[in-house]
Amino acid sequence: MQPSPTVATVSAYTPATRILVFSGLILTMVMAALDQSIVSTALPTIVTDLGGLAHMSWVVTAFMLTSTIATPMYGKLSDMFGRRPLLAFSIGAFLAASLLCGMAQDMWQLIVFRGLQGIGAGGLMTLSQTVIGDMVTPQQRGRYQGLFTGAFAVSSVTGPFLGGVLTSALSWRWVFLVNLPVGGLAMALVMLGLPAARAEARPRIDYAGAALLGVATAGFLLLFNSVGTTLAWTSPLTFVLLGASVAFSVLFIRQERRAPEPLVSLGLLRIASFSVCVAATGIMSFAMMGSLVFLPLYYQLVLGQTPEISGLMMLPQVGTMMVSSVVGGYVSSRTQRYAPLLALGVGIEFTALTLIALCAHHGAPALFFLLSLGGLGVGMGIGMPNATVIIQNSVPPGMLGIATAMMSFIRSLGGSLGVALSGGVMALTLQNRLHALPEKIDVTAFLEKGMAAVHGLSPEMRLQVREAYKTAISASLSVSSSFMFLAFLMIVGLMVRNRRPSA
């Protein structure tokens, strides 16, 4: 299949335009990564200023909901209309919504504006990775995707720190307003360097598919992020929400099979390397989010670290991830052995997660966690860019956008499910351990307030409660390790299949 006329080919980029576009895309990636982590530090101050503590979680949920739904739409539309207009819309919508977030006067305004911001954010990372796929040859993609992964790692870890600095020195509003100069520069660089391409003469947009996918995804995300917390596992509403999400998913698949221009190309799933790597990426995200969200909780509740120290203890993972992504991208571009490198990266991730779970179970000192986190960062840096390269290299050039978007979509869903399931396992284990204590305590208070509810206990009971938290969090980490092993088996199976001689 020839490249789509909506997409600029590799030959359309001169060395000068390639530098401009790549610089703009790096800034776009940095902006997207920062916004996923920078807001969390400012949330307590935001609640103090605007009120609405009961709705605080929706500041994060609304953003995640709209960005996940928008992701596959950006991929398909960029294949139809070209990357340039969709990237301009994505950055523009994100900046406009960031300005509105910075001007919000109450919590509900902020939630609505965060939802609008998510619509723009859904295209930032996906389209950046897709343009890289257009801009360089398949042999060079590993090197460039590795650089992107390194930039993502640095931005993710600096987000909470930068959020705290901006909130303390200026105002929480600058957590959002800081996007304006960064995004403006990114927009200028990308628009100056990214060549225009001819759009399809009569594009047929799958509106029905978009609506069905939006409803199904919203249902699943609301379910994943509510069950076990605001929504009981056995609640009738849980089963209604699950049934409705599954039903709309079935209707979406039926629509995509008969649509002239489907939003999601189900035919891509028949490509073994694509389908296996997309599924493995979702499972990897499941395992990573399910572990990293609760690891700082372990540091604070079990090891007794301050929030600042617990944040610094994540640095080994980010540092090794930054180095290994750049080095791994260079090695993969030189050797072209993407699948073995992906298997190596995921194998290291599984080993590191298993060690972290063992450290948590046995209450190991902080040094062992730091070493294991360093290994986890090495695996992530090797695995993430090679997964993207395999997915992009396995599809026709004209479907690069939707292929990358499908990967991002599944990765986002996997991360949401990982947090929900790991959190459910942790809450259930903690509840059982607290009920088994010899002295009766208010279990609900501990589930809601954490170790803040321990201060009134005797020293002996305090140790027992701490032990309960240790068991509960280590159980959730074991879930993440098990799923990472599943991803490793899938990738090894793909390698074995690819080595078999064709009939």
Question: pLDDT tens digit string along 241-295?
Answer: 888 888 988 888 888 788 777 777 777 778 888 888 888 888 888 777 766 667 7
Q: Examine residue 494 and state whether it is found in any structural domain, yes or no.
A: yes
* pLDDT reported for residue 443: 58
Examine the fold and report which residue of 173, 195, 217 is the final residue of a domain before the chain moves on: 195
DSSP state of 340: H
Please report the sign of the dihedral spanned by the C-alpha atoms of residue 76, residue 79, residue 82, residue 87. positive
Beta strands in 94-214, from DSSP E residues, in sequence order: none
Q: Examine residue 219 and state whether it is found in any structural domain, yes or no.
A: no
Q: Examine residue 159 and state whether it is found in any structural domain, yes or no.
A: yes
Examine the fold and report which residue of 176, 195, 214 is the final residue of a domain before the chain moves on: 195
- Phi then psi dihedrals of residue 359, to 5 deg: -60, -45
Q: Examine residue 334 and state whether it is found in any structural domain, yes or no.
A: yes
* Whether residue 401 has pLDDT greater than 80: no
Q: Examine residue 263 and state whether it is found in any structural domain, yes or no.
A: no
The rounded mean pLDDT for the chain is 77
Q: Does residue 406 share a domain with residue 299?
A: yes
Q: Does residue 149 share a domain with residue 14?
A: yes
Q: From CA 274, how far away is CA 2, in angstroms rounded?
A: 19
Q: What is the CATH number of the domain that holds 166?
A: 1.20.1250.20
> 383-398: string of b/e by CB count within 10 Å (b at 16+)?
bbbbbbbbbbbbbebb
Q: Taking residues 37-47, report their average pLDDT.
A: 70
Q: Does residue 299 share a domain with residue 169?
A: no
Number of alpha carbons in the 13 Å side-chain half-sphere of residue 28? 33
Q: Does residue 152 share a domain with residue 37?
A: yes
Q: Taking residues 432-451, report their average pLDDT.
A: 63
Give the number of domains in the chain. 2
Confidence of residue 2 (pLDDT cuts 50, 70, 90): very low
Q: Does residue 468 share a domain with residue 369?
A: yes
Q: From CA 184, how far away is CA 213, in angstroms rounded?
A: 31
Q: Examine residue 257 and state whether it is found in any structural domain, yes or no.
A: no
* Whether residue 108 has pLDDT greater than 70: yes
Radius of gyration in angstroms for the set of CA atoms belonging to the chain, rounded to a whole number: 23
Q: Examine residue 478 and state whether it is found in any structural domain, yes or no.
A: yes
Q: From CA 479, how far away is CA 293, in angstroms rounded?
A: 13
Examine the fold and report which residue of 162, 195, 228 is the final residue of a domain before the chain moves on: 195
Calculate the alpha carbon distances from 455 to 141, 363, 467, 487 in Å. Answer: 54, 21, 15, 42
Q: Which domain holds residue 118?
A: 1-195
Closest C-alpha among 228, 227, 364, 348 to residue 288: 348
Percent of the chain topping pLDDT 90: 3
Q: Does residue 326 share a domain with residue 190?
A: no
* pLDDT reported for residue 1: 42
Strand partners of residue 503 = none
Q: Does residue 187 share a domain with residue 93?
A: yes
Quote the tokens at residue 436.
């088994």
Q: Taking residues 380-393, report their average pLDDT.
A: 82
Please report the sign of the dihedral spanned by the C-alpha atoms of residue 385, residue 388, residue 390, residue 396. negative
- Pick the residue with more confidence: 178 or 205? 178
Q: Examine residue 480 and state whether it is found in any structural domain, yes or no.
A: yes
* Whether residue 96 has pLDDT greater than 90: yes
Q: From CA 420, how far away is CA 413, in angstroms rounded?
A: 11
